[in-house]
C-alpha cells in the first residue's frame, strides 16, 4: 500500500472541502474541549471538597463511646444454667467518655513510625445562652500548637489569632455561623451551660470558619485545661485522640493494627467518617464520565455522518480509482486517514481551547464566598486529562471513520460507472 | 505475425434484478495484439455488460477470460485491481476525472499507484502522454475547469500512463462533437499502429466503428456478426 499517495489524496480531499472538514473538526474540538473543561473542573471540585474535609478530619480517631453493651451480668454469672435471661430497658453504666491513660496512649501512638502526629481533645456538649434562647453546640479543648500543625486551625481564622487561646484562661474561639447566630464579635463574652448544669462565662478571642456547616454553626475551641475546668475534671481527662498519618491510604490497616493493641477504646478511620464525601466523589466522577462520553459520541456521530456524505459525494471518484487499479484497502486508507486527520486536528484544537477555558475558570472569582473558604473556582490541570482527551478524539474518529470507509471500499465501480 | 492478447470463452451473465434475466448467452472471441476493435449493437444487447466483464471489474459471470495469456477468471478483487493498474486502461463515456486534482495529477495517479517509476519520472511521462493527446498546455488546470472534449483527452492520457496492453472504451465519443470525436479517433488509431496497443471500444458512433480494424456486432446477448472493415 502506497501510504504517501493515499495521504496525498486524503489531504487533497480535505482541503478542497474546507468548510465540511472544518465543521467535522469543530465537532471534535467542541467535544474534547468540553471534556477537558468538565473533567478539570469536576476533579478540581472533588479535590477541593476532599481537602476541605480532610483538613480537619483525623485519619484515625480514637474515642470511648458511651453505649449499651450487649452483655448481661446476670447471664455471665450463670454460665452453666441453660436459661434465657431477658433484661428489658437496659441502661448504660455511669461511665465517662474518658480514655483511660489517654496521654500515655498518645505518646505510644506518636512514637509509631506511620504517625505524623496525635492531637488530644476534650470535647463536650454545651448550651450557648443567647438571652433566653439556648443554642446547642459543643466545645473542644485542644492542644493549640498540635491542632494548628496537624489540622491547620491557624489557617481557618477569620478574626483573631488562634494562639491567643494560650494567653488567657476562659477564652474560646467560635465558629463563624455560631457567632453570627449569637451576634458575637471579637472580645464579646458569652455564657454557656454545661451538661451538668453549671453556668460559665467565656470570652471570644477569635472567629474561625471551616466552610463546613456542622463545625461552623455549633463549635468552639478552647485549650484543654479550659475545657477540663468547665467540666470540673482532672488534668488527665481526655476524650479523643485525633491521629494524622504520613500516608492517608494507610488509614484502614493502621486502624486495624491499633485495634489489635488497644482493646479498651474504639477507633474510626476517615473513610468511614466521610462516607458521604466519598459517595459524592463517585457520583461526580460518574456524571463527568457520562457527560464526556455523550459529547464524544455526538461528535463521533457528526464525523460518521459527514464521512458518509463525503463518500456518497465521492462515489464516482471511488469508482474511477478502483477502475484504474486502486484496491479496497487503498480506498479505506484514503477515507480513514481523512477521518483521523479531522480527529487529530480537532483534538489538538480541543485541548487548546479546553485549557484556555479551564484557565479562565480557574481565575474566575467564586461568587460571594460566604461559606466556602475559596477565592476562585477550583480547577485541576493534570496532563493525563489532556492525553486522555487526545486519545478519545483519536479513537472516536477512528471508529466513526472506519465504517463509512469500509463501505467506500466495497463500492462496486461497475454500478457507478454504468449509472 | 500477430498474437492473441485477449480471449473470452463462453461468457454467460445473468442479471438478477429486477428479475432473473440472461444478458450474455455464451460470447466467444479473441482479440489480437495491436487490433482496433469496435463492439456495436442496439441498446440492451449486452455489449457494455460484456465490456465490463472484459475489463475485470465485473466478476459475476460464467465462462473464462484470459488477457496476456493470464487466466483472470477466479482471481480476487485485489489481484484484479493490481492487474488493471498495470495492464489495462479505461476511457469512459463520462470522462470521470477526479475534479479536485489537476489534469497532470489525474494522469499521474495510476502510475503513482503502480510505483514503478520515481515521482519525478512519472511527471515527465505524464507530460509526454498529455502532449500525445495535445493537452500539455492544460496540464496544471483543474479537471473541473476543462471542457468535455478536453476532459476526454485527459482521460485517454490517464489510460495510457502505465503503457497498458489493452485499452477499453465505453462510448469514448458518445458525449463529444464531431471535431473532438475525430481527434479521439485519430489518437486511438495512432496508438494501435505505432505502439501496438489493443483497443476495444463499445460504440454507437458508425463513423468511429467504420474506422476500426474489426467490428463485432451483438444482438440479444450473442455475437451475430464479426467482420473486418475495408
> Tens of pLDDT along chain A (419 residues)?
678 888 888 888 888 888 888 888 888 888 889 888 988 888 888 888 777 777 778 888 888 876 666 677 777 777 777 777 787 887 777 777 788 888 888 888 888 888 888 999 998 889 998 888 889 999 999 988 888 888 888 888 888 888 888 888 889 999 988 888 888 888 888 899 988 888 888 999 999 888 778 888 888 999 999 888 888 888 888 988 888 888 877 888 888 888 888 887 888 888 777 777 778 888 888 888 888 788 778 877 877 888 888 888 888 888 888 888 888 888 899 889 988 898 899 999 999 999 999 999 988 887 765 556 677 888 888 898 899 888 888 888 888 888 888 888 888 888 777 76
Enumerate the residues of chain B whose CB falls inside 8 A of the CB of residue A413. 57
**From B58, B90, B115, residue closest to A324, measured CB to CB:** B90
Residue pair A5/B113 in contact (Cβ under 8 Å)? The answer is yes
The C-alpha atoms of residue A233 and residue B126 are separated, in whole angstroms, by 104
Chain B positions in Cβ-Cβ contact with residue A409 (cut-off 8 Å):
none
Q: What ipTM score was computed for the predicted complex, to two decimals?
A: 0.86
Beta sheet of B36-41, edge-to-edge order? B88-91, B166-170, B198-202, B36-41, B214-219, B222-228
Any domain includes B124? yes
Distance from CA of B183 to the nearest CA of A (A): 23
> Which is more confident, A91 or B212?
B212
Which residues of chain A are within 8 Å of residue B55 when distances are taken between CB atoms? 323
Predicted confidence at residue A416, as pLDDT, reads 79
Euclidean distance between CA atoms B162 and B165, whole angstroms: 9
Which residue is listed with cell 493515499? Answer: A6
In-domain check, residue B203: yes
pLDDT of residue A349: 93
User: Are B117 and B125 a contacting pair, CB within 8 Å?
Assistant: yes
pLDDT digits (tens, 9 = 90+) for B168-192: 888 888 777 888 888 888 888 888 8
| Closest Cβ opposite residue B77 in set A319, A328, A417 | A328
Q: Is residue B202 part of a domain?
A: yes
Min Cα separation A289/chain B (Å): 41
Of all residues in chain A, the one with the smallest CA distance to B109 is A5
CA distance, residue B52 to nearest chain A CA (Å): 7
Among B96, B109, B170, whose Cβ lies nearest the Cβ of A316?
Answer: B96
Give the one of B55, B94, B98 whose C-beta lies nearest to A317's C-beta. B98
**CA end-to-end distance (rounded Å), chain B:** 20
The Cα-based distances of A360 to A353, A355, A364, A381 in angstroms read: 11, 9, 6, 12
Would you list which residues of chain B are within 8 Å, Cβ to Cβ, of chain A?
48, 52, 55, 57-58, 77-78, 81-86, 90, 92, 94, 96-101, 109-110, 112-115, 158, 170
* DSSP SS3 for B144: helix
Q: What share of chain A is helix, strand, coil (3-state, %, to 5)?
A: 55, 15, 25
Q: Is residue B5 part of a domain?
A: no
Domain that holds residue B154: 34-60+76-228
Calculate the average pLDDT of chain B: 85
Q: Is A183 left (phi over 0), alpha (psi -120 to 50) or beta?
A: left
H helix count then E strand count, chain B: 7, 10
- Indicate the number of domains in chain B: 1
Phi and psi, residue B217, nearest 5°: -105, 135
What gap in Å lies between CA B209 and CA B214, rounded to an integer?
8
The pLDDT of residue B95 is 62
Chain B interface, mutation test: which of A310, A325, A332, A410, most B Cβ atoms within 10 Å?
A: A325
Q: CATH number of the domain that B122 lies in?
A: 3.40.50.300
Could you tell me if residue B141 is inside a domain? yes
CB-based contact B153:B184 (threshold 8 Å): yes
What does the pLDDT read at residue A368?
64
Amino acid at each position: 500500500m502506497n501510504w504517501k499517495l493515499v495521504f496525498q489524496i486524503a489531504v487533497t480531499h480535505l482541503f478542497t472541502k474546507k468548510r465540511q472538514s472544518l465543521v467535522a473538526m469543530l465537532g471534535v474540538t467542541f467535544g474534547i474541549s468540553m471534556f477537558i473543561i468538565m473533567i478539570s473542573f469536576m476533579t478540581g471540585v472533588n479535590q477541593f471538597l476532599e481537602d476541605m474535609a480532610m483538613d480537619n478530619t483525623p485519619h484515625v480517631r480514637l474515642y470511648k463511646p458511651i453505649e449499651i453493651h450487649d452483655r448481661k451480668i446476670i447471664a455471665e454469672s450463670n454460665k452453666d444454667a441453660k436459661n434465657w435471661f431477658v433484661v428489658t430497658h437496659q441502661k448504660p453504666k455511669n461511665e465517662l467518655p474518658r480514655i483511660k491513660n489517654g496521654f500515655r496512649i498518645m505518646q505510644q501512638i506518636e512514637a509509631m513510625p506511620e504517625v505524623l502526629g496525635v492531637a488530644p481533645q476534650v470535647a463536650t456538649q454545651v448550651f450557648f445562652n443567647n438571652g433566653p434562647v439556648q443554642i446547642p453546640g459543643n466545645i473542644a479543648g485542644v492542644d493549640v500548637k498540635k491542632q494548628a500543625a496537624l489540622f491547620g486551625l491557624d489557617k481557618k481564622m477569620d478574626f483573631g489569632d488562634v494562639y491567643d487561646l494560650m494567653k488567657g484562661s476562659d477564652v474560646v474561639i467560635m465558629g463563624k455561623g455560631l457567632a453570627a447566630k449569637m451576634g458575637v464579635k471579637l472580645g464579646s463574652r458569652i455564657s454557656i451551660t454545661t451538661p451538668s448544669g453549671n453556668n460559665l462565662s467565656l470570652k471570644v478571642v477569635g472567629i474561625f470558619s471551616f466552610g463546613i456547616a456542622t463545625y461552623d454553626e455549633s463549635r468552639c475551641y478552647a485549650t484543654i485545661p479550659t475545657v477540663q475546668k468547665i467540666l470540673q475534671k482532672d488534668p488527665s481527662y481526655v476524650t479523643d485522640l485525633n491521629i494524622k498519618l504520613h500516608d492517608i491510604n494507610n488509614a484502614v490497616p493502621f486502624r486495624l493494627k491499633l485495634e489489635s493493641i488497644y482493646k479498651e477504646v474504639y477507633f474510626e478511620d476517615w473513610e468511614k467518617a466521610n462516607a458521604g464525601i466519598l459517595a459524592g466523589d463517585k457520583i461526580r466522577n460518574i456524571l463527568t464520565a457520562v457527560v464526556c462520553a455523550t459529547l464524544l459520541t455526538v461528535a463521533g456521530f457528526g464525523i460518521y455522518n459527514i464521512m458518509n456524505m463525503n463518500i456518497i459525494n465521492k462515489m464516482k471518484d471511488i469508482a474511477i480509482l478502483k477502475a484504474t487499479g486502486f484496491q479496497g484497502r487503498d480506498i479505506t486508507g484514503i477515507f480513514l486517514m481523512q477521518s483521523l486527520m479531522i480527529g487529530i486536528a480537532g483534538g489538538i484544537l480541543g485541548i487548546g481551547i479546553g485549557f484556555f477555558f479551564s484557565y479562565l475558570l480557574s481565575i474566575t472569582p467564586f461568587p460571594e464566598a460566604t461559606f466556602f473558604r475559596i477565592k476562585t473556582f477550583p480547577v485541576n490541570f493534570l496532563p493525563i486529562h489532556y492525553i486522555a482527551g487526545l486519545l478519545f478524539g483519536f479513537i472516536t474518529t477512528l471508529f466513526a471513520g472506519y465504517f463509512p470507509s469500509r463501505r467506500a471500499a466495497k463500492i462496486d465501480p461497475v454500478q457507478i460507472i454504468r449509472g | 505475425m500477430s498474437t492473441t492478447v485477449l480471449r473470452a470463452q463462453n461468457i454467460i451473465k445473468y442479471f438478477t434484478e429486477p428479475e432473473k434475466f440472461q444478458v450474455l448467452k455464451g460470447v466467444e472471441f479473441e482479440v489480437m495484439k495491436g487490433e482496433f476493435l469496435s463492439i456495436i449493437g442496439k441498446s440492451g444487447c449486452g455489449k457494455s455488460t460484456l465490456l465490463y466483464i472484459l475489463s475485470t471489474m465485473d466478476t459475476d459471470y460464467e465462462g473464462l477470460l484470459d488477457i496476456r495469456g493470464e487466466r483472470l477468471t477466479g482471481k480476487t478483487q485485489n489481484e484484479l485491481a493490481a492487474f488493471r493498474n498495470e495492464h489495462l486502461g479505461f476511457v469512459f463515456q463520462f470522462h470521470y476525472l477526479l475534479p479536485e486534482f489537476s489534469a497532470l495529477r489525474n494522469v499521474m495517479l495510476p502510475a503513482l499507484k503502480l510505483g514503478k517509476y520515481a515521482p519525478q519520472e512519472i511527471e515527465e511521462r505524464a507530460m509526454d502522454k498529455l502532449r500525445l493527446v495535445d493537452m500539455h498546455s492544460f496540464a496544471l488546470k483543474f479537471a473541473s475547469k476543462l471542457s468535455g472534449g478536453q476532459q476526454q483527452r485527459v482521460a485517454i492520457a490517464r489510460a495510457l500512463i502505465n503503457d497498458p496492453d489493452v485499452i477499453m472504451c465505453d462510448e469514448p465519443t458518445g458525449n463529444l462533437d464531431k471535431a473532438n470525436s475525430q481527434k479521439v479517433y485519430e489518437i486511438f488509431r495512432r496508438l494501435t499502429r505505432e505502439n501496438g496497443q489493443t483497443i476495444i471500444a463499445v460504440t454507437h458512433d458508425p463513423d468511429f466503428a467504420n474506422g476500426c480494424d474489426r467490428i463485432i456486432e451483438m444482438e440479444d446477448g450473442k455475437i451475430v456478426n464479426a467482420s473486418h472493415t475495408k
